[in-house]
Structures are given as C-alpha cells and as structure tokens.
Structure 1
Amino acid sequence: MQHFFYGTLCHPPLLRAVIGRIPDLHPAELEGYRAREACRDGVPLGFPVLEAQAGATTTGIICTLSTHEAERIAWYEAGYTPCDLQLSQDGEKVAARVWLPGAGHWDPGADWTLAQWRAQWGALKTEAAAQFIHEAEQIGPEAANARYHSILVCAASKLSAQAKPMPQTLRRAVQEEDVKIESQSIGYHGFFLIEDYDLRHRLFAGGYSDTLSRAAFISGDAAVVLPYDARRDRVLLIEQFRAGPFARGEPNPWMIEAIAGRIDPGESPEQTAHREAMEEAGITLDHLIEAPRFYPTPGAKSEFIHCYIGLTDLPDDAGRPGGVEDEGEDIRPHLVPFDQLMEMVQTGEAGNAPLVVLSLWLDRMRESLRAKA
C-alpha cells in the first residue's frame, strides 16, 4: 500500500526509527489541504496537522509499505485517522493513505515547515520514535502512547548524556562493545519504566563477565536549584510529601528539599530551574551558578541531576505555597538562615542528596558571594 507523509515522517531518520528502514521516497502533492502546526491551548506541540483549505497544496513524500510497516505507522499516528485520498505524483493522479488529525485533538497554528521542525525537534523526536516502537512492541501501542511524554523526557536525557558525557580522567577509556546486551525487556511501565537486561561487560583484567541480570529504573534528567540571598544570608527550602521515604517506613515522609523538577523535552536544565522556582515557590531567580551534576543512584537508576545555586532576593514575604495541581503537588516554602541550613545537614533533617550537595557547595562559595553582594 502507498502512504503519503507530509510531516515528521518526511524526515528519513525518523521514518527509519518507526518502520526499521528507509524505503524509496518520491515527492507528491495533496491538493485542498494546508499543513499547520498542531497546538493545544495555543502551545505548539512539534508536529503538523492538515487543515482543509480550498486552493491550498501540501507537499510531501509517497512510498510503498508492507502490512507490518503500515501497522507500525498506525501505532505512531495515534490520534490521526487514515484516509485514502487522491494525490499528484509526477503530474499523474495516484491513490495513497493519508493520516488526517482526529476531530478535537489539536488546534491548527502557524504554517508548519519540515526544515524548522528538523532544526528544533528532529534529533529528539527521532530518538523518541525508536523508544516508542521498542515499548509498543512489548507493552502495546496504547500503553506506549500513554507514556509518550515520558518517552520524550527520557529521549532528551539520552541525547544530553551523549552530548555532554561525564569526564574520564581516572575512569577506564571507553571501547567499542564494552557492553553486550543479550536480551532487553520491560519489567514495569507507568509514569516511569523499569528495563530488565541480560548483559555481559568488559572486565578490567580482560575478557567479559558472565551473563548478568540487571534492572534499571528509567527516568529523565532533573534540575535542582537552591535559592540563596547573599545579602540576607538565607535560602529558600520547600517541604512536600514523598512516596520513597513513606515506602521505606519513614515515620515522617514530608521532606525538606531544594526546588526541583524533571527537565521537559526541548527545555534546558537552566530553563527548568527558573520554571520550577516559579511553580513551586513563586520566586524569580536572578542568576544561576552551576553546581555538581551527578547520578544519585547509579546502581539502579538512570536519573541524572543538574544542580544550581540560584541567586535571588528573599525578603521576609518571599515564597508562596506552590506545586502543579494536576500532578498532585502540595508544596510549602521555608525561608531558612544559612546556619540553620547547615545544622539541618548535620542533623540529617536535610536528608536528601541534592540538598546536601548544594548546601556543601554553597558553603564553599558563600564567603565570596557575600563579599560581592
């Protein structure tokens, strides 16, 4: 069957991620439709929709797919409806399957162009498409589509790890085939994901390990920021219920923390820090100072933390209760003198790794920051 693509699937690497190959692609035109940016509540979503419009023409590509490949396209195009339409190819009319947006899903925005999308979203959406297909084959396309935002978050984290890897001065040098994966499967899927692996890795003494069974809790990168007022010598902390301490049996599962949040797709860690400061405590940060970045639990979790000291003004009325209601967040802010912060680190009340790291980092920089203030 012939298929006509007018949007992201015109990007050959993404098409390969979905169907496993790049077929023969030929230019074609669809008359009576205009490609527009899909939007929700005025926010562009990074993919196009077709809007019926007399006299308009949408250019794209046409190709022939197998039944199995067409099924994968159907998985990926959830929310769209397949329609068999007439197109123009090399001056002749041909029939092809076209995926039109379902009614009420999205609103049309500005004109959509492949070049602009490729520059902004191409690498991320291609990586996410490969992960989506991997999950859809194991847990089903409906469950994979329900996880699509989380898939984007994890794809962005993977690209970030590749673009800015951790230094290797003391660590062994990386070689090809350091890790050989014998099997990989999904052990749990929900808001987060657990991947089960059977693998072998290279040994320091040479050769490979025996086959090891390992599991990894997959989540995206996060940004953590500790707001600090150098003139008043105090910080803003937040307090909220946490499921991890509750599950461990902690008598009081409300935790004192620095402001934090997952990095959204297309967002930088710095942008996340500024956004979360406003969402969780209603404050604006003037300047960010990079602090250590790290894996908090590398033995089991993929999560990676980007840390910052956020210089800002913290008068007595700074901060407000915050959190995103749709995510069930209920957050209370606290203005805390620096000496009290360090006492809480000492006693363990500031008992989470990002806050401890940031507190010690601030202690290291505090004298110079106060002098400048």
Structure 2
Amino acid sequence: MLEAVIGRVPALRPARLPGFCVHEACRAGTGLGFPVLVAREGAETPGLLADLTSAEAERIAWYEAGYDAVERAVEAGADTVSARIWLPQRDRWEVGAAWTLSDWAPRWAALKTEGARRFVAEAERIGPEAANARYHAILVRVASALRARAEPMPATIRRQMQENDLKIVSQDIGYAKFFSVEDYHLNHALFAGGMSETLDRAAFVSGDASVVLPYDPVRDRVMLVEQFRMGPMARGEPSPWTLEAIAGRVDPGESPEEAALREAGEEAGITIRRLIAGPRYYPSPGAKTEYVYSYVGLADLDDAATSLGGVADEGEDIRTHLLPFEKLLELVNTGEAGNAPLMLLALWLERNRERLRAEA
C-alpha cells in the first residue's frame, strides 16, 4: 500500500500505540473492509513507524480522506517517539468488529492496493478532493479489472493478445463522477500485420453489473422492476420509465452472485432460492467497459410478492410487477421490454423453461 500511494517502501520500524485498538469501519451495519483506530483505555495496537518526506505525507493525506491527522506518542523499541496517526472523523463511520491484517488480506489486499494506485493516478489528474469523492467508483472499476484478468473471455477463434500488440500513447480523464470517461491515444496490431496509426478513442468506464430475473417455475411467472432511467430520458423517450430485470453494480469485495442476491432484496424485497447463471457479455463493447453477469433466480413469487422498493439514499424509486412468462415474451415482442439484459434473460429462460418447470 505504501508503494502504491507514495511510490516506495520506506524504512519501517515496529512500534506500539498505547490507548488504541483497531476495528473495521462500517456503514449501516455493513463492514467496509478498512481499519480505524478506536481509543480504548488500557489497549495497545502494533504498527510500523515510517519516516516520510513532506511530499509523501501529503500524498498519504490525499488517500486518508475521512480521517484527521493527530500527533501521538508511540513506543519504538526503547524509544518514545511523537508520530502522526490518523483517526476517523467523528460520526463518519460506525465501528464494527475487531480488525486484523490476516483476515483483511485474502479478500481486500489486491483490490485495495490496485485501488490505491488508481486513486493516486486520478488524484494527480483531477485533484484529491474529486478523486476521494470517486473512491468507491474507483474500487468498482479496479474490482472489474481484477475479475477480467482472473476470468478472461474465451479466445478460440478471436485474436489472442501478444506482447507489443497494444501501445497506449497517452491516457486522460475527460469526466469523473459516478462513471468516468477516459480519453486514449493508442496504436494496436492490425490483422494484415503492422500497427495502426495513432487513434483517438474514448471509453465510458463503469463497473461490472449483475442482473437477475426472478422466476417461479411452479407458478410459471416472473418479476420485473420498473424505474425512471436517465438513458431513455436523455435520448428523448416520452415516458422514461423502463421495465427491467433486477440489476446493480457489483460492489468492491463482493462476487457477482452476492451482488445479484443483494439487489433482489434491495430492489424487490424478495429472497432468491437459487441462482442459475445465464449469459455473460459486454452490452456495447465499442465504447463501454461494463460487463454483465446475468442470472435467473428461482423464487417463490406469490401474489403478495409485489412491492415498492429501492434504496432511498441512492435515489431509487422502484415498483415490481408479477407477470406470467408468456406475458414477458409478449413485452419482448412488442418492444416494451426494450433493454438487452431483460431480453437476453427472457430468451434464455424460454430455452430452459420446461427443464426448470420439470425439476420443480
């Protein structure tokens, strides 16, 4: 982490901080993965004492948004030294369970270290305040990249990347909030041999997403959600409320399956009994980084299952619809179910429906 944030690993000395213990930061009862120091009489926490330049200390200050730097006495061997430590700002996070590096590392180390590198790169371009506002989005983007490396698309007939097939001449950030737009100048290998001219290209950067279509094979019905959508509104759609499968971004530290189950609870208030994997795909690879994991979720969809849902502090306003499967196909055919994730899952379910009903 130090190398990622300040560019080097300085000399480190073991040290002990009296009067504090370490716990996981939480929000709404959910662990966020990172540690915070909590004052506690009689406690002591081990750490590492580093000598930094003022520029390196400033970089750490960029990264440690949400904390206040204070001076405290730490014990380094036989010496007592005044050191800068970082305490969480009041009421910013809840305090969760005790935190240990051994528990944190398997789930978070690769993600948070890559995220630190990405954060510093963005902070240098758009400023630390804007980068801190995007920290969650940065982690979403990094988690997507790690999944892409761990589970690349099959390459049986398409070109497989070779060394020197791609040269990125420059990269810049044109827009950065919940999503970002990145501008590239690059050269890539040509099918006829050689390299392309330097191309000016842009990518709309979002994270991986999970989509789940709840299906009750006994009642042969599905659940759709309806909500206001910016894409149709900005295009000029007269009524920009859309019928969709349940969907959402895969959060840092969770799997696509965990995201699908979480979104089913948040958007529709239902519990999925079993997830069945459907297609995985890039919806629009010409410009978008989004990669979709899609599922059919087996559930009990009785008449009481409809509700209003969504996460209020994310501005979600959602209502649910229970429909016979044949009605879903009708909506696909008329275009009212006019978005690719729902259409693909409807067609996947049409092909597998009889088997699922027989198993049920």
Task: Please state which band the TM-score falls in when normalised by the shorter chain.
Answer: over 0.9
Find out whether 1:346 has 2:333 as its counterpart: yes
Structure 1 residue 76, shift from structure 2 partner? 0.6
2:219 match: 232
SS state of the match for residue 48, structure 1?
Answer: strand
> How far apart in 2 are the matches of 1:187 and 1:338?
43
| Distance in 2 between residues matched to 1:34 and 1:184, nearest whole Å | 42
**1:9 alignment partner in structure 2:** none
- State the match for 1:364 in structure 2: 351
Residue correspondence of structure 1 range 18-33 to structure 2 within 5 A: 18-33=5-20
Partner of 2:178: 191
Q: Which of 298, 301, 315 is the matching residue for 1:328? A: 315
Instruction: Pick closer, same or farther for the CA change 1:285–1:36 going to 2, 3 Å.
Output: closer
1:238 to 1:44, Cα distance in 2 relative to 1, 3 A:
closer
Question: In the alignment, which residue of structure 2 is the partner of 1:101?
Answer: 88
Q: Deviations over 1:3-24 (max 9, x none)?
A: xxxxxxxxxxx21111112222
Determine the C-alpha separation between the residues in 2 that align with 1:286 and 1:226.
Answer: 12
Task: Please report how far the alpha carbon of residue 36 of structure 1 lies from its aligned counterpart in structure 2 after TM superposition.
Answer: 2.4
Consecutive unaligned residues in structure 2, runs of 5 or more: none
Q: CA deviation at 1:242?
A: 1.0
Aligned residue in 2 for 1:8: none
Match runs of 1:12-51 below 5 Å: 14-51=1-38
What code does the residue aligned with 2:270 have?
I
The CA deviation at 1:54 is 3.4
Q: 1:205 to 1:110 in 2, by over 3 A?
A: same
Q: Does 2:44 match 1:57?
A: yes
Question: How far off is 1:156 after superposition?
Answer: 1.4
How far off its partner does 1:200 sit? 1.0
Report the TM-score when normalising by structure 1. Answer: 0.92
Find the partner of 1:78 among 58, 65, 78: 65
| Cα distance in structure 2, aligned partners of 1:51 and 1:192 | 34
Provide the TM-score with structure 2 as the length reference: 0.95
1:314 and 2:301 equivalent? yes
Question: Which stretch of structure 1 is more off in the superposition, 32-41 or 309-318?
Answer: 32-41
Residues 32 and 318 of structure 1, relative CA distance in 2, 3 Å threshold = closer
The aligned counterpart of 2:238 is: 251
Structure 1 runs (4+) deviating above 4 angstroms are none
Q: Deviations over 1:111-165 (max 9, x none)?
A: 2211111122111111211111111111111111111111121121111111111
Tell me, in whole angstroms, the C-alpha distance in 1 between the residues paired with 2:20 and 2:156. Answer: 56
Tell me the matched-pair count: 360
C-alpha separation between the residues in 1 aligned to 2:233 and 2:14? Answer: 57
Counterpart Cα distance in 1 of 2:164 and 2:338: 39
- Of 253, 265, 285, 2:272 maps to 285
Instruction: Give the conservation status (yes or no) of the 8 Å contact 1:224–1:354.
Output: yes
Aligned AA (1:167): P
Q: Secondary structure at the match of 1:349?
A: coil
The one-letter code sitting in structure 1 at the alignment partner of 2:205 is I
CA RMSD of aligned residues (A): 1.6
Which is worse superposed, 43-52 or 280-289? 43-52
Distance 2:93 2:216 in 1: 43
Comparing 355-364 with 313-322, greater Cα deviation is found at 313-322
Query: In the TM superposition, what whole-angstrom CA distance separates every residue of 1:259-306 from its partner, at most 9, and x where no partner exists?
Result: 111111111111111121122122221111110000101111111100
Shift of residue 84, structure 1, vs aligned partner:
2.8
Asked if the contact 1:283–1:319 (Cα under 8 Å) also holds between the matched residues in 2, the reply is no
Partner of 2:128: 141
Q: 1:31 to 1:23 in 2, by over 3 A?
A: same
Determine helix, strand or coil for the equivalent of 1:293: strand
Distance 1:285 1:121 in 2: 27
| Runs of 5+ unmatched residues, structure 1 | 1-13
Q: 1:229 to 1:110 in 2, by over 3 A?
A: closer
CA distance in 2, matches of 1:329, 1:157: 23
1:299–1:52 Cα change, 3 Å: same
Seen in structure 2, the aligned counterparts of structure 1 residues 42 and 260 have a Cα distance that, compared at 3 Å, is closer
Amino acid at match of 2:353: R
Quick one: distance in 2 between partners of 1:355 and 1:330? 19
